Structure 1
Amino acid sequence: MSTAMNFGTKSFKPRPPDKGSFPLDHFGECKDFKERFMKCLQQNNYESSLCREPSKAYLQCRMDRQLMAKEPLEKLGFRDGADAAGPGSEVGS
């Protein structure tokens, strides 16, 4: 009866998710960037919007060292002008 569940010889081949899975930084290549980002979060009561620049630098480091897939920063939530101006500020003021 257990063979009745075999519908063929195809086997399931798992594949990693497109996002959210990336190599660990075993050699600490981006450790300084990570530490700056974590320190910023601690100093700003874990308000991530106040730490966009350190976050951006950390992600750029990971992409440069092939620890994650290269993507335009716009796809990762960073837009030109919005990062430099900061939250709540208006352009041209």
Structure 2
Amino acid sequence: MSTAMNFGGKSFSPQPPERGSFPLDHLGECKEFKEIFMSCLKESKFDSSLCREQSMDYLKCRMDRQLMTKEPLQKLGFKDLVDDKSAEPHQQTDT
């Protein structure tokens, strides 16, 4: 006599939440960015406001490798950094 239950043969397929969590980087695709960010945090005595560029680079890496949902960096709190970076190429010096 079998004690296994077969609920109509349907298999459960878990789905990740839309927000609030993201897959672990099992392959270490963004490890370099994470290490740079963690080093910055340690050097700044864990004042994350001093490591925003490193944080942004880490999140961009995760989005580029589909380890998290792509979001505009402005929505993630980096509006000032994105605006500053987009303005840089337009600045020219006369030498």
TM-score for the superposition, normalised by structure 2:
0.67
Deviations 1:40-62 (A, max 9, x none): 00000100000011000000000
- Give structure 1 regions of 4+ aligned residues with deviation exceeding 2 angstroms: 14-18, 80-84
SS for the counterpart of 1:79 is helix
Shift of 1:19: 1.7
CA RMSD of aligned residues (A): 2.1
1:36 maps to which residue? 36
Identify, as 1 or 2, the structure richer in helix: 2
Shift of 1:16: 4.6
Contact 2:40 2:51 in 1 (8 A): yes
SS for the counterpart of 2:80 is coil
Shift of 1:81: 4.7
TM-score for the superposition, normalised by structure 1:
0.68
Shift of 1:18: 2.9
**Taking every aligned residue pair, what percent have the same amino acid on both sides?**
68
| Counterpart residue identity of residue 49, structure 2 | S
Shift of 1:80: 3.2
Structure 1: runs of 5 or more not aligned = 1-13, 85-93
Shift of 1:20: 1.6
Deviations 1:6-38 (A, max 9, x none): xxxxxxxx9754322111100000000000000
Count the aligned residue pairs.
71
